Amino acid sequence: MANHSQPLDEVFLALADPTRREVVRRLGRGPVSVGDLARPFPITLPSFMKHVRALEASGLIRTAKSGRVRTCTLNRERLAVVDDWLAEQRSLWEGRTDRLENFLANPQETS
């Protein structure tokens, strides 16, 4: 179980921080240089780079350096880990609510 949940844990841990969620949101519009990504945040560039490294370690973003510019790109495939987990949860809870609805609509059938 731990091996199966490790990618999900890594992604959720990375997304637990509001700065990193905002970075992912921004990268959803396309690749951006680290400098441009960091500009709206009231933190130093070295502090911002810790967020970039955490997102990169989780697999949510990729970075590439061209000359002196490091560009970040969202790895949309990695978001599928969360999407798959949410789909499982949705299916589980929809099944439970369907059974509850059936029970409430037909109480005489369960006696």
- 70-92: per-residue pLDDT in tens? 999 999 999 888 888 878 878 77
One-letter amino acid for residue 25 of the chain = R
Return phi, psi of residue 85, to 5°: -65, -45
pLDDT (0 to 100) of residue 81: 86
pLDDT (0 to 100) of residue 92: 72
Catalogue all structural domains in the chain, each as residue range(s) with its CATH number: 2-110 (1.10.10.10)
pLDDT (0 to 100) of residue 94: 72
Cβ-count burial 52-64 (b if 16+ within 10 Å, e if not): bebbbebbbbeee
